[in-house]
Amino acid sequence: MSASRKPAPASAEHAPLQLEHFLPYRLSILSNTISQTIADDYQSRYAISMTEWRVMAVLARFEGLSAREVAERTAMDKVAVSRALSRLVDAGRVDRSTHDEDKRRSVLRLSAAGWIMHDEVAPMARARERELLAKLDPDERVWLVRILDKLLPAEGDHQR
Amino acid sequence: MSASRKPAPASAEHAPLQLEHFLPYRLSILSNTISQTIADDYQSRYAISMTEWRVMAVLARFEGLSAREVAERTAMDKVAVSRALSRLVDAGRVDRSTHDEDKRRSVLRLSAAGWIMHDEVAPMARARERELLAKLDPDERVWLVRILDKLLPAEGDHQR
DNA sequence: GTTTTATAGTTTCTATTGCAACCAATTGCA
DNA sequence: TGCAATTGGTTGCAATAGAAACTATAAAAC
């Protein structure tokens, strides 16, 4: 009952945002809730941050990327990636070597231990995605994918 | 062209997530992109963080909330709200007083200066939302709202 | 070739965040 | 009443994130 406050009388003159119907706000809540749910799953078993998991997921899909390419694909900045990688390498979940033809670049891949963890976490993540989609009817699922395709900047664009 | 790496051959045995089709990942990219775009708008004029703006938006809509109620409505944790509020009060954008019947609770409202800022930022935020929705057809917009209604936890639930 | 200029990645410094511990006011209840 | 449990809010500390500066290699310009 504590939340039953009436909108401020100032509404008329000030036109405040109605957050509960404001798309950016709703998307943010939804996204954070989902990401956190998945993070809770893997953090209950492994001491790993969301950024580290994201890096691992990219390396599972694309072997041998450089740090910059990981940053591109995760939409994280390069400093965040660099730090996540050094933790992952220290923890023995990622192997890092140097590119043959360009000694600036690193060549990254999951280690055996990294793969073991990946193979345990990935199904949990997929299960959460299914849980989410189960709340929708089949046609809603189709529309959602179509809408995301339209709203998301094309592959390869950066956000910041 | 740098991004044309073929999926790791390990795919078959390991079934890595296809991030580019993984709903939680796509939502996260979308949400971050949008929030950052709006933040860029107001940060180009005002030195204010995303959390502070979010608090202001809630107080514009519901006057006299307590800090806890702000936390509830913004889905932020109470520490983040407490700190955002102390910055906002210091900056003179929010007035804080104490509840008459419960001296633990604060009573929060935008100051005159807060309202001025709000009245400039809110239209920019709405414009960004319109820009986003303009990418969709009318029926897609309807489906999007319907889908969000289904996926978002009901009003008043908490996420963490 | 040698000197810019650009790129990959790391480090440093600072600001933000998150958690736990904490204080103060209120409520529940013996 | 009086004392434990709860609630609203803040503070301290450790981990994290972001910006700018820095190192190293590589590519481009001259």
Assess whether B146 (CB) lies less than 7 A from strand D.
no
Distances (CA, A) of B46 to A16, B18, B128, B132: 18, 39, 17, 23
Q: A25 and B64 in contact (C-beta within 8 Å)?
A: no
Count CB-CB contacts under 10 A for residue A101.
Answer: 5
What are the tokens at A70?
Answer: 């990981």
pLDDT of residue B11: 53
Q: What is the pLDDT of residue A118?
A: 94
Q: How far are the Cα atoms of A65, A128, A140 from residue B16, in angstroms, in the given order?
A: 15, 15, 26
Please write the tens of the pLDDT for every residue from A67-85. Answer: 999 999 988 899 999 999 9
What would the DSSP string read from start to end of chain A? -TT-PPPPTTHHHH----GGG-HHHHHHHHHHHHHHHHHHHHHTTS---HHHHHHHHHHHHSTTB-HHHHHHHHT--HHHHHHHHHHHHHTTSEEEEE-SS-TTSEEEEE-HHHHHHHHHHHHHHHHHHHHHHTTS-HHHHHHHHHHHHHHSPPTT----
Q: What is the pLDDT of residues B86-97, one digit of tens each?
A: 999 999 999 999
- What integer is the mean pLDDT of B56-77? 94
Give the per-residue pLDDT at B20.
87
Q: Is the pLDDT of residue A126 over 90?
A: yes
Is the shortest CB-to-strand distance from A130 to strand D under 7 Å?
no
Which pLDDT tens digit goes with each residue over B115-158?
999 999 999 999 999 999 999 999 999 999 999 999 987 654 43
> Is the pLDDT assigned to residue A95 strictly greater than 90?
yes
Pick from A49-53, A133-137, B90-94, B149-153: least confident: B149-153
The nt closest to B78 (CA vs C1′) is D9
pLDDT of residue B23: 94
Q: What is the overall mean pLDDT for chain B?
A: 88
Using CA atoms, how far apart are residues A73 and B22, in angstroms rounded to an integer? Answer: 13
Angstrom distance (rounded) from CA A112 to CA B128 = 45
d(CA B50, CA B46): 11
Which pLDDT score, from 0 to 100, does residue A155 have?
55
Rounded CA separation B97/B86 (Å): 12
The identity of residue A55, as a single letter, is V
| pLDDT for residue B44 is more than 90 | no
Residue B19 per-residue DSSP state: G
- Across the interface, whether the CB atoms of A36 and B61 are under 8 A apart is answered no
pLDDT value at residue A3: 40
Confidence band of A103 (pLDDT split at 50, 70, 90): very high
CA of A39 to C1' of D15 (A): 17
Contact pairs from chain A to chain B, CB under 8 Å: 212
Q: How far apart are CA A135 and CA B25, in angstroms?
A: 18
- Top-confidence residue, A18 or B8: A18
Of B74, B108, B70, B105, the C-alpha closest to B89 is B108
Which three-class secondary structure state does DSSP give residue B106?
strand
Per-residue exposure over A32-53, b if at least 16 CB sit within 10 Å of its own CB, e if not:
bbbbebbeebbeeeeebbebbb
Among A10-14, B3-7, B50-54, the least confident range: B3-7
* Strand C nucleotides within 7 Å of a protein CB: 7-12, 16-20, 24-27
Mean pLDDT on A49-58: 94
